[in-house]
Amino acid sequence: MSTFTSPLLQTLAQVNDEDDAAISVYLDLDPSVTPTRADMASRVRSAVDRLETASDRRSGEAKRTFEDGVDRVHRFLGEQDLRGGAEVHGAALFALGCEVFEALPLWRSAGDAVTAGGRFALRRLAVEDARTSQVLLVIAGRELGRVVLLRDGRLIELVDADQEIENRHHQGGWAASKLQRYTDRQAELHLAAVVEIAERTHARLGQPPIVLAGTAENSAVMRGRLGQEASAAVIGELPNMRDFDEASVLRELTAIAERHDGERERAMLERHAEQLGRGELAEGLDAALIAISESRVQTLLLAPGPGPEVCACPQCGRLSDRVQVCPLDGSFIVVEPMGLELAVAEAISRGADVWQLSDANRDALAASAGVGVITRY
């Protein structure tokens, strides 16, 4: 989970409103779906209309809380042009009365959806959040050093290491070396300085995946010099990038990030299968849901699509795949109107990540109705 949204996801997942007034809105702002501000306005209007229709069932305090939330959403969407540049492809809004309001830009669209219930609908946000959205690119050559961050679909130049290293040389009384041809020793010192700057930046950013760019020889030198943590974070290498324009850098890094996510997914499915194989986890939806309720889940795995029916105990919150008497308190476990979203909120609030399988692996969890878990122990 990204270090930026994870605390916020946890906070939102803990909201549990008796009046079912927790409002979640996802907007598809992809330029192909929402090309103009007017398109967005009409999309927003229909989203808010759907919410207001839903509020007719409520009365008294519950209705007021709900309408305060709708108001917040309405006002925010009326005042802001969420499209804000090509990199914003979606938005997620969460409101509960006057107490909670969060608006988050998404750089990959999560589609359109509006829900109101006891919990926030966090699945789409959590799924986006779990994918690799940050990559640190370290470009280094004999006389070249740059550290660039791919974040949310765009490139941000973090450090022009050349400048920093040059200043350092001045300070160290090396001014004359600038005029000389770089010797091997100097090239080595230069690479070491770039690596040092990259490592510092990597730690400061919460250790995102790293891609090294340079000749095979320079990349090998960089790999050798990186410390354990940064070295373990390297997910790919690119050739010397002198001739790359921004669009091709973006394309290459995005492809590496996607490949990396494919590998992560394979590893997760393997671990899931191993846990089942060793009998640490029973097969089936019910076992997965119980593991969530018992706070044993590290990663909740979901097949794409709406997901199965989920039941919950109104007394203690225990999840189940069927209507039955709760083994813990004797209450009737009943069908949960929010369905799988409740399981997602429960899992996140208990510290789990949420991973949605790619289409290629969509049937991997068929034996447990498209819901699987990796447990902590």
Which positions touch Zn ion (CB under 5 A)? Answer: 313, 315-316, 318, 326, 328-329
Min CB(373)–Zn ion separation in Å: 20
The DSSP output letter for 1 is -
Contact 142, 219 (CB under 8 A): no
Min CB(327)–Zn ion separation in Å: 8
Measured from the CB atom, is 99 or 329 closer to Zn ion?
A: 329
Q: What is the DSSP string of 57-109?
A: T--HHHHHHHHHHHHHHHHHHHH--TTTTTT--EEEEEEETTTEEEEEEESS-
Measured from the CB atom, is 227 or 337 closer to Zn ion?
A: 337
Measured from the CB atom, is 46 or 315 closer to Zn ion?
A: 315
Min CB(118)–Zn ion separation in Å: 16
Provide CB contacts within 8 A for 302, sequence distance 6+: 123, 127, 340, 344, 354, 355, 356, 357, 365, 370, 371, 372
Measured from the CB atom, is 297 or 312 closer to Zn ion?
A: 312
Min CB(130)–Zn ion separation in Å: 29
Residue 175 is which amino acid? A
Q: Give the integer Cα–Cα distance in Å for 65 and 122.
A: 20
Q: Say if strands 100-106 and 319-320 run parallel, antiparallel, or are unpaired.
A: unpaired
Min CB(320)–Zn ion separation in Å: 9
Measured from the CB atom, is 282 or 316 closer to Zn ion?
A: 316
Contact 149, 137 (CB under 8 A): yes
